[in-house]
A and B are shown apart, each in its own frame.
Chain A
Amino acid sequence: NAGVTQTPKFRILKIGQSMTLQCTQDMNHNYMYWYRQDPGMGLKLIYYSVGAGITDKGEVPNGYNVSRSTTEDFPLRLELAAPSQTSVYFCASSPAAPGELFFGEGSRLTVL
């Protein structure tokens, strides 16, 4: 059972570069989320989606963009990477809202 799959697991970026974190789920969940986890700060919601074609901002959306063209995929794009975006990023999905979240294994991003 794959569940929620994130790629890549690790990435180092230079300041100003761009990249996309991929997230795919095979549970047919409508709701998907991107969080970032920083030490001592817990998880902060970046963006979320309630279904294909629908996305909305979370607590910390600046510097990020998302799209949701299919139920399965919810990529997170970083434009013009900054050191403040160094973090661990988690994608999650949920079958209902509000409800339990199912997490991917995370993507550790370092911006130098």
Chain B
Amino acid sequence: AQSVSQHNHHVILSEAASLELGCNYSYGGTVNLFWYVQYPGQHLQLLLKYFSGDPLVKGIKGFEAEFIKSKFSFNLRKPSVQWSDTAEYFCAVNGNTGGFKTIFGAGTRLFVKA
């Protein structure tokens, strides 16, 4: 069955610390990978996506993610977090064998201390 696993449910960092959020997926076939962010009181919005090409993708607000096919991973990184990055982050996957369904991980709540 298709699934997405996010390793950390809660992360607390100080401003300027580096961030890495883990994401592993189980999916047969070609995949498209996403990170969505949900700021407090807001709806989900796209942070970045990978469809094909360069496995290192850059998104908004200085975030990037690396697709490592051999590890079935798509980890999210940011070199220096800000207080405004406090949010919940969701990894998601869809692809050509899943029909039209996007599967989400359980989410990681990030709290950045000022």
Question: Does B associate with A?
Answer: yes
Give A residues with C-beta under 8 Å from B.
31, 33, 35, 40-45, 48, 50, 56, 58, 90, 92, 94, 97-101, 103-106
Interface of A, secondary structure class, is strand
Interface 9-residue window, one of B14-22, B37-45, B67-75, B76-84: B37-45
> Are A97's CB and B43's CB within 8 A?
no
**Residues A40 and B9 in contact, CB atoms below 8 Å apart:** yes
A42 & B90 in contact (Cβ 8 Å cutoff): yes
Chain B residue nearest to A6 in the complex (CB): B43
Interface size class of B (residues with CB under 8 A): 20 to 34
Residues of B within 8 A of A (CB): 4, 6, 9, 32, 34, 36, 42-46, 49, 90, 92, 94-96, 98-107
Q: Which residues of B are found within 8 Å of A104, using beta-carbon distances? A: 43
Residue of A nearest to B42 (CB): A105
Residues of B within 8 Å of A100, CB to CB, are 34, 46, 49
State whether B107 touches A98 (Cβ < 8 A).
Answer: no
Contacts of A48 in B (CB 8 A): 100-101
Determine the chain A residues whose CB is within 8 A of the CB of B6 once the complex forms. Answer: 42
Inter-chain CA distance A31–B99, complex, in Å, is: 12
Q: Nearest Cβ in chain A — how far from B92, in angstroms?
A: 8
